[in-house]
Amino acid sequence: MPFAVGSAVTKQDLAVAQAEAPQLAKVKWWADPGMRVLYFYAAILCVCSATTGYDGSMLNTSQAMDDWQDYFGHPKGSKLGILNSIYQIGSIASFPFAPYMADHFGRKLPIAVGCLIMILGAFLSAFTNGYGMYLGGRFLVGFGNSLAQLSCPVLLTEICHPQHRAIVSAIYNCLWNLGATLCAFIGLGTINISSNWSWRSITLIQAVPSLIQITFIWWIPESPRWLMANERHEEALTILSKYHANGDVNNATVQFEYNEIKDTIALEYQAQKTGSYIDFLRTKGNRYRLMLLISLGIISQYSGNALISNYSNIIYEGAGIKDQAQKTGLNAGENMLKLFVAIGCSLGIDRFGRRPLFLTATVGMLLFFLAWTIVAARFEATGETEIKRLGYPQIALIWLFDVCYSIAWSGLIVAYALEICPFRLRARGLMIMNFFIQVALTIGNQTNPVALENLPNNWNFWCFYTVWIAVELVFVFFFYVETKGPTLEEIARIFDGDDANVAQVNYNDSEKQAVIETSEPIHHERKDLKMDRFDIASTASIHGGIIPLEPVNETKLRAANLNQISPKIDTEPIVPAAENSNDNNSSQGQTSELGISKTRGVIVIITLAGISFLNTMGSGILIAALPKIAQDVGLSENLILWPAAVYALAAGCLLLIFGAIADVVGAKLMWVTGSFLFVVFTLAVGLAQTGIQIILFRTLLGASISMCLPTAVSLISNTFPKGPWRNVAFAINGMGSPLGYALGLVLGGIFTDTIGWRWAYYMMAIINFCLSTGAIWSLPSVYTASERKWTTRLRCEIDWVGAATMSVALGMLLYVLAMISSSYKRLDDPANITLLTIAIVLLAAFPFWMDYQVKHGRPALIPNSLWRNRSFTSVCIAVFLCWASLNGIEYFTTLYFQKVEGLSALQSSLRFLPHVIMGVAVNVITGILIAKVKVRTLAVVSALITMVAAPLMATVDVGENYWLAPFWAMFLSPVNPDVLFTVSNLVISDAYPPEMQSLAGGVFNEVAQFGNSVGLAITAAIAASVTEHSGITAREEALMKGYRAAFWTIFASCSTVTIVVWLGLKKGGIVGRKQD
């Protein structure tokens, strides 16, 4: 193909494409319920562009603040350049991953992952303790933004109605100016804060757009084109009909879109089985596309606009504007003007065309930049004295330049890039453009400050850009083609001519070509499919289908050219995921027993056990490092136990509520959300600078883990059938808790005595981020389809009163117990007495509420009938007492080593290694024996073994050889808890139906958490009372007497566990046996 827009061949191809463009029926989106919802989702996707704009203005706004300049030492030259370019470097670093993720895992996955990384980066930048951490945060923001910035416009373009595609796609990039404007106005408010929070505030607010997107991304529909490319045709048709025709699959536009997309993608796959960047060099048409993509990236960012955006502070001062509030206000006003112009021109994109807008914008840019150069030269020649005559006019010319730039180069570049690329190259094409955008920005950020600093006058540099814009104008005139008119698929004819892989679909005959054989209209009987739910690693579809809730052969779609053009479509009956899965790679060993591959099963187990491990690891680190943490952050003595207490308090209050919610919205969604929040707040704990921050972030950490612990039970129960796999999954998950706590003690001591306790939390955040990211792919979706909307289910299928009653009661109890743990004398506090009384009253009222709910046929949180199940009741009591014992023996053994023996945190931690080793061994053995040995035998034998540990510590002599008593106490203490973890999860999960497994997990974790708190409170109160009344003057001896009393109390609790499991599990049988 000739590379000239005026060539006969190009004109002919353009004329053919425009002539064959279908005259689709006009629609009013505001009158169509489906489209109103669709464009609400489109607005959420556009938030990503606003995020980019916010960052583009944030550094500029921050530089105008004296506090920012003082904090970073007034950076100049290359130091300022790297601050500006590190964002682009982060973006470039993501380029190998973004298109691969978008093409292989859907358009929504990179958006979700990118938003989470941006949130993490914003937190790092806002809570920075120096230049290096600030750079790291901006690198992460750039990396995450690039992931999301690739997929958001692609998804937006591919879900829009054809009538609105170009306009909405163009508006997307216009919202860059909205983000920049918001940042500038927020900066106007925070500039008056007389501290570092003047700039830290706008940096932290940078996370808000990503939080908005991560909240709504779960409901935005997946791209129908991506679904069809992955042979999920029926699902794609459902989305097209729902959002483009309010559910009418027989709509002519829907049928035309469906057939054209399906057949075009089939042709593309037939022509090229695999896709890569090399494809852009294979044909003349693709090389033309590549040239345009490169030019879009370079021209949009290397035309003087980046110079104005990133160095406006220097430019304004050069024009005589010195006041920082005035500079910030000018930035805000300029961005608002650019926003209005960009959106206005985007709305007229189908009226004016693409090429006229590009030419108009570039001509205007050249004229006003030239005028600015002339005025700037005269201003500098006068010694910068004539501010009103020559200084202020420069500001007007800059604004006019930006107005012209916004006509096309602000919003149109993304829409144009997406239009010119066919489906197979669309993600990679946008990535190429983004790559050259970042390259242009990086080069500009590195060269602009050097040029401004070394050239005799600023206007000398403006001359270079004036000449460069003239070259750009010539290029645009000769090479930019018009794409107005044809559909997204048909634009390929402009570039590829007769070689274009475009299906021949007649819009007027589309209803005749598709024959729908159904007893009832699809859009009435398929409302419960929830096809707009976010499901990254869905096992709910194979061969391009979806799980039908009615017999699948009732509905079959046949296109007249189905077998000729799209042989990939499979119209055979769809097998539900419970029997077969789309994770069917034979190399991974597909098994009929699991429904997923063995490899994926192992990954699921490791992922779920990993969060259990990290949960207690953080607590172990806190216990080992607490004295040093208190010293570093200024945590007062009366608050020293609060970081541990608030974690348990927050988790205990929310376990049941989140467990119940997860059964409605999906266990995977709840787990992934909680896991990523756990990453953010773990990192926040490591970055905390004050005691209040430590307490706040530990509270939020407890809330986030309460989303993961109950849903892990649901994910295991619904992923693995009864038998060895489920047994091993629960056993390994159980191993995570004691292993994490013990290893946390060890690592907490090591880090505290070496590089610092903060690095222990940084390490946790990194590990958890890896697990959480992998979980998006590996964890299966656990979601019960229903005819009701999820909002209706949340309202009607959860016992909110019961959940609130139990959560408030337990929260009050946990608070009082935490107070008692720090000092038993606080039990006399009137506030604690009041809270304890209220909690007891609420707990007493709870069974009556359960009875009321059951009698009226309403959902009950923990039905009273469950307590008549002897195994269920016995296990709950045993778990309560066992976890009370375990927490107590670990806590007081640590105190014995450090306060009585006088050992360092590191030496104390090393003495817990037998505890870790035995915990691992017991869980592995339990996973094997649970399917062969009666549950009563396992529970009783393990309880008898653990019962020996407490007396060993109660009778130990101070200074006694570690290997005589403490070693055996550490070695034997985890046996019963680790056995009971697996046993109790199997028993409790069996007591609840499959669709309520997250609530079952909440019950187990609530009982264990409550046992932890009660055990610690009672043993701490007993130890403190005995020590105080001992009459012994020697501190170590007095403490030891109290510790001995605590260990004997723990022995009594372990003995009770033995009796309870002996009597209560008589009919327990073998709970881990494979179900036929």
Convert the pLDDT of each residue in 724-763 to its tens digit: 777 777 777 777 776 777 778 777 777 777 777 888 888 8
HEC per residue, 121-185: HHHHHHCCCCHHHHHHHHHHHHHHHHHHHHHHHHHHHHHCCCCCHHHHHHHHHHHHHHHHHHHHH
C-alpha to C-alpha distance for 108 and 101, rounded to whole angstroms: 9
Section 171-178 average pLDDT: 79
Q: Give the lowest-confidence range in 163-177, 525-539, 829-843.
A: 525-539
Report how far apart the first and last C-alpha atoms of the chain are (Å, whole number). 65
C-alpha to C-alpha distance for 271 and 273, rounded to whole angstroms: 7
- pLDDT, position 294: 92
Residues 6+ apart with CB under 8 A from 1037: 958, 1030
Tokens of 87: 């964002």
How far, in Å, are 189, 196, 727, 878 from residue 192 at the CA level?
Answer: 6, 11, 60, 58
Split at pLDDT 50, 70, 90, the class of 569 is very low
Q: Give the lowest-confidence range in 82-91, 217-226, 481-490, 560-569.
A: 560-569
CA dihedral 203, 209, 213, 215 (to 10 degrees): 80
* Helices 870-895 & 997-1028 angle (0-180, nearest 10): 40
How far, in Å, are 125, 618, 875 from residue 632 at the CA level?
Answer: 21, 18, 42
Total number of residues shown for the chain: 1076
C-alpha to C-alpha distance for 875 and 867, rounded to whole angstroms: 11
C-alpha to C-alpha distance for 339 and 180, rounded to whole angstroms: 9
- pLDDT, position 746: 73
Check whether 24 has a pLDDT greater than 70: no
- pLDDT, position 292: 93
Where is 287: in which H helix or E strand?
Answer: helix 284-301
Q: Give the lowest-confidence range in 103-107, 172-176, 280-284, 499-503.
A: 499-503
The reply to whether domains 8-220+272-499 and 598-1064 share a CATH topology is yes
Radius of gyration of the chain measured on its C-alpha atoms: 33
Looking at the chain, the whole-number percentage of residues with pLDDT higher than 70 is 77
3-state secondary structure of 640: coil
Tokens of 646: 């608030």
Check whether 471 has a pLDDT greater than 80: yes
- pLDDT, position 999: 62
- pLDDT, position 849: 83
Residue that wins the pLDDT comparison between 796 and 570: 796
Q: Which residue has the tokens 């009950």?
A: 860
How far, in Å, are 33, 262, 555 from residue 258 at the CA level?
Answer: 20, 6, 16
C-alpha to C-alpha distance for 985 and 720, rounded to whole angstroms: 13
Measured over the CA atoms of residue 94, residue 95, residue 96 and residue 98, the dihedral's sign is: positive
Check whether 845 has a pLDDT greater than 60: yes
- pLDDT, position 476: 92
C-alpha to C-alpha distance for 469 and 478, rounded to whole angstroms: 15
C-alpha to C-alpha distance for 154 and 898, rounded to whole angstroms: 59
The identity of residue 828, as a single letter, is D
Check whether 151 has a pLDDT greater than 60: yes
Distance from chain centroid for Cα 6: 48
CATH code for residues 598-1064: 1.20.1250.20
Q: How many CA atoms lie within 13 A of 600 on its CB side?
A: 26
Taking the CB of residue 1039, how many other CB atoms lie within 10 A of it? Answer: 22
DSSP conformation class of 865: G
Tokens of 411: 């919003």
Residue that wins the pLDDT comparison between 595 and 700: 700
Facing residues of 515 across strands? 558
- pLDDT, position 539: 31
Split at pLDDT 50, 70, 90, the class of 566 is very low
User: Could you write out the DSSP letters of every residue in 774-832?
Assistant: HHHHHSPP-----SS-HHHHHHHSS-HHHHHHHHHHHHHHHHHHHHHHH-GGGGG-HHH
pLDDT tens per residue, range 510-559 = 444 444 433 344 333 333 333 333 333 333 332 333 233 333 333 333 33
pLDDT tens per residue, range 117-144 = 898 888 888 888 777 788 888 888 988 9
3-state secondary structure of 566: coil
- pLDDT, position 583: 37
DSSP conformation class of 597: B
Section 499-512 average pLDDT: 57
C-alpha to C-alpha distance for 379 and 967, rounded to whole angstroms: 82
pLDDT tens per residue, range 335-369 = 778 878 888 888 888 888 889 999 999 999 999 88
- pLDDT, position 470: 92
Split at pLDDT 50, 70, 90, the class of 475 is very high
3-state secondary structure of 515: strand
Distance from chain centroid for Cα 508: 44
C-alpha to C-alpha distance for 224 and 156, rounded to whole angstroms: 11
> Measuring CA to CA, which residue among 865, 854, 887, 904 is closest to residue 992?
865
**pLDDT averaged over every residue in the chain:** 75
- pLDDT, position 1006: 74
Check whether 965 has a pLDDT greater than 50: yes
The identity of residue 321, as a single letter, is I
- pLDDT, position 520: 40
Facing residues of 597 across strands? 590
3-state secondary structure of 556: strand
Tokens of 513: 């070509």
* Helices 724-753 & 691-719 angle (0-180, nearest 10): 160
CATH code for residues 8-220+272-499: 1.20.1250.20
Contact 581, 608 (CB under 8 A): no
> Measuring CA to CA, which residue among 342, 392, 394, 401 is closest to residue 369?
401
- pLDDT, position 12: 59
Q: For the chain, which residues make up each domain, given as ranges? A: 8-220+272-499, 598-1064
C-alpha to C-alpha distance for 1027 and 1045, rounded to whole angstroms: 9
Q: Which residue has the tokens 């050992």?
A: 903
Contact 950, 1048 (CB under 8 A): yes
DSSP conformation class of 559: E
Phi–psi pair at 961, nearest 5 degrees: -55, 130
pLDDT tens per residue, range 65-81 = 888 888 888 887 667 76
CA dihedral 382, 384, 387, 389 (to 10 degrees): 20
Check whether 231 has a pLDDT greater than 70: yes
